[in-house]
Structure 1
Amino acid sequence: MIRAGLIWNQHSHRNRGSGGPAPLPEDVIDIVPEQPSHLMAGLKRLAGDGVELVVIDGGDGTIREVLTRLPEAYGGKLPRLAVLPNGKTNALALDIETPLGTTLEDILASVEAGKPTKRRQCLEIVRGDCEAPERRGFLFGMGAFVRATKLAQKAHGKGFFDNAAVGVTMVGALARTVLGGAGDRWRRGEPAMLSYMGPEATRRFLVMASTLKRFPMGFKPYGEPREGLKVLTVDAPPRRLLTALPRIIRGDDTPWLAEHGYRRDDLASFGIAWEGDFVLDGEPYKGGDLTIRQGPSLEFVIP
């Protein structure tokens, strides 16, 4: 039987107030970091104890923090992973088809039964001339994506989560953009240089990159689901937005989209430089001179 360890985030939405993880089998090691700085020590303990399956109990933010530290803790040889989706957002769990309510017992039973696993590449954020990635995750965004994330956080405060929060955020972001005047900060975008579009900075309404295949509510921002790092860019101000948005969401390959500043690309990596913020898996960070690249392939046990 594979040796398993559990990372339990006490601050994740569905874990709050539960008093701790459910009783575990004797051979499963549980790590409950009191704060993010304790996570690396916990992962190193799992690696030192020969844990081959790391089960992450939390949402997308918890997964981001684990993936960022995991290669260093494990010396580059990565264990298998599994997700118990208990956060405010659980986009990765949706993508790899791990439903809400999945338990550790479900994951261990899947291993015991020899069920097929799924693989996904994460993406890596590299700053400046550094070689080592600063962070790892699955969904990067700047421009309107950052502002939409703030709307999503407000939606969480009002009790909207998962698909409901996505819907509320989309409606709010669309209304703000359409109703805003020519000088509105949503519409005017941010000057950003993209390496695959030349050396000049151009105002971008949105840049969104991801290695996920499936998205909430069946959205297909990159077209038909596929592997690899995919990028969606929208020039500022967005043109024919009310007409373009439904086509973007459905994944339509409509020729006039590119002509009006809506572009999809498949890339192994790209450079981006701007002075604003970006969001990675729900958390805002300071932008700058960054490289976004495909990260390692990860193996996920699913129920």
Structure 2
Amino acid sequence: MATPIYEFAQIPRVDPAAPARARTRKVRAAGQAPTVGVIYNPRSHRNLGADFDCSLSPHVHIAQPRARAQLPEALADFAAKGIDLLVINGGDGTVRDVLTCGQAIFGDDWPEIAVLPKGKTNALTIDLGIPDDWTLQDAIDALDQGGRVWRRPIAVSPAEDGASAAGMSRVAGFILGAGAFTKATQAGQSAHKLGAFDSMVVAVTGVWALLQSLFASRANPWRKGARMRIGLGASGVPMEHSGHGDPEMRQLLFASTLERLPAGIRPFGALKNGLKLVAVDQISRRTTALIPLVLLGKLRGGLRERGIHQLTASHFTLSIDDQFILDGEAFPAGDYLIGQGPELAFVTP
């Protein structure tokens, strides 16, 4: 369920006037097995093409969509069956695709969700505290015996069509980045080929990005970043600029609704809840050398003056002349509205 560029024209379009399909709801009797729907991505790194034993239980329904276009049908079938638990077996990209295609099916009435960390990157499961060896049976047991973590995904829609576009073509995910983040994602693909995954990828690409930024000129893509305009809140107040480098450029943009990130990094400082973003101007080499302290949350004072902006926003607009990344995949340059989707309940151990 992946292509090199995920164009908005390929997203299943939803009539904003049509409500999401009603999910069949059933009350489980004491001791009754839950009805479970599993979206299984056989292409995910840790699945290695292996198949589930589909005779696990008559209450467990497994779908293996081979393309994004098949996801809505699979999710609609789960909704009709009145599933108690939706299990996503795959990495962050699979989660993004399921949440994107599920908007037309579930709206704001999603079943509880469990995620099995089977991809090359599994930032969401790191945030949720899911162990690498979590199994389908573990997830089913946790529905009654485990905990819950609530998260709202980032929702990205094209801005040029106005507010109505948000209901017609919207992508949902958890980590968005641009500028040097796009370069880091490309470098991360090379790290994957070398056998680095999850937090190791963050460490490897982080060190490489730091070295590039320390020793390269501002013409280097790692320091140059991308031309972007960021408008905050309903009135679209322009994000301030420190004056370091070209005021039309940002070296990096990173946004997420997750609260714990791979490798223990804390790019948002003390900010924890909601939609958080950090924008980095074309900062000096001296400030670049302090980035490890910023990522560890050890340096907080005077960051804005140095060109590092950490803040929360209900939503923001982004006009960018380069690709940006959402959960590991590139999206084209353009004008976008970035907000939050519905609050989802994730099952945890």
* TM-score using structure 2 length: 0.82
Shifted more, 52-61 versus 169-178: the winner is 169-178
SS in 2 for 1:175: helix
Change (3 A) 1:268 1:246: same
Identity of aligned residues (%): 36
Aligned to 2:166: 131
Say if 2:177 and 2:325, in contact at 8 Å, map to a contact too.
yes
SS in 1 for 2:147: coil
Distance in 2 separating the partners of 1:182 and 1:60? 32
Aligned to 2:231: 195
Change (3 A) 1:302 1:194: same
State the Cα distance separating 1:225 from its structure 2 match: 5.9
Residue identity in the other structure for 1:256: G
Change (3 A) 1:243 1:75: closer
Q: From 148, 151, 168, give the equivalent of 2:204.
A: 168
| 1:49-105 superposed Cα distances (whole Å, 9 cap, x missing partner) | 111210000000000000001121225421110001000000000001111110111
Gaps of at least 5 residues in structure 1 are none
Let me know the Cα RMSD of the aligned residues. Answer: 1.7
Distance in 2 separating the partners of 1:276 and 1:44? 35
Say if 2:213 and 2:288, in contact at 8 Å, map to a contact too.
no
State the Cα distance separating 1:131 from its structure 2 match: 2.5
State the Cα distance separating 1:296 from its structure 2 match: 1.0
Q: From 66, 88, 105, give the equivalent of 1:56.
A: 88
Gaps of at least 5 residues in structure 2 are 1-32, 241-246
Residue identity in the other structure for 2:91: G
State the Cα distance separating 1:287 from its structure 2 match: 2.5
Aligned to 1:213: 259
SS in 1 for 2:310: strand
Distance in 1 separating the partners of 2:239 and 2:185? 28
State the Cα distance separating 1:257 from its structure 2 match: 1.4
Aligned: 1:185 with 2:216: no
SS in 1 for 2:227: strand
| 1:243-286 superposed Cα distances (whole Å, 9 cap, x missing partner) | 32122211245222110110100111011101110000111111
Say if 1:279 and 1:285, in contact at 8 Å, map to a contact too.
yes
Residue identity in the other structure for 2:238: G
Aligned to 2:10: none
Shifted more, 35-44 versus 230-239: the winner is 230-239
Shifted more, 247-256 versus 9-18: the winner is 247-256
Aligned: 1:271 with 2:317: yes
Shifted more, 246-255 versus 64-73: the winner is 246-255
Residue identity in the other structure for 1:102: W
Shifted more, 23-32 versus 270-279: the winner is 23-32
Say if 1:205 and 1:238, in contact at 8 Å, map to a contact too.
no
Change (3 A) 1:51 1:145: same
Distance in 2 separating the partners of 1:12 and 1:69? 18
Residue identity in the other structure for 1:148: A
Distance in 1 separating the partners of 2:137 and 2:221? 48
Residue identity in the other structure for 1:131: A
Distance in 2 separating the partners of 1:223 and 1:249? 8
Aligned to 2:280: 234
Aligned to 1:259: 305
Aligned: 1:77 with 2:109: yes
Residue identity in the other structure for 1:33: P
Say if 2:177 and 2:254, in contact at 8 Å, map to a contact too.
yes
Distance in 2 separating the partners of 1:256 and 1:112? 47
State the Cα distance separating 1:189 from its structure 2 match: 2.0
Aligned to 2:181: 145
SS in 2 for 1:296: coil
Say if 2:175 and 2:327, in contact at 8 Å, map to a contact too.
yes
Q: From 295, 301, 310, give the equivalent of 1:249.
A: 295
| 1:113-156 superposed Cα distances (whole Å, 9 cap, x missing partner) | 3x321111111001122122520000000100000000001100
Distance in 2 separating the partners of 1:219 and 1:157? 23
* TM-score using structure 1 length: 0.94
Aligned: 1:14 with 2:46: yes
Distance in 1 separating the partners of 2:175 and 2:199? 16
State the Cα distance separating 1:171 from its structure 2 match: 1.1
Aligned to 2:340: 294
Q: Which runs of 4+ in 1 moved over 4 A?
A: none
Residue identity in the other structure for 1:293: G
| 1:207-234 superposed Cα distances (whole Å, 9 cap, x missing partner) | 1110000011111111136220001000
SS in 1 for 2:348: coil
Say if 1:221 and 1:232, in contact at 8 Å, map to a contact too.
yes
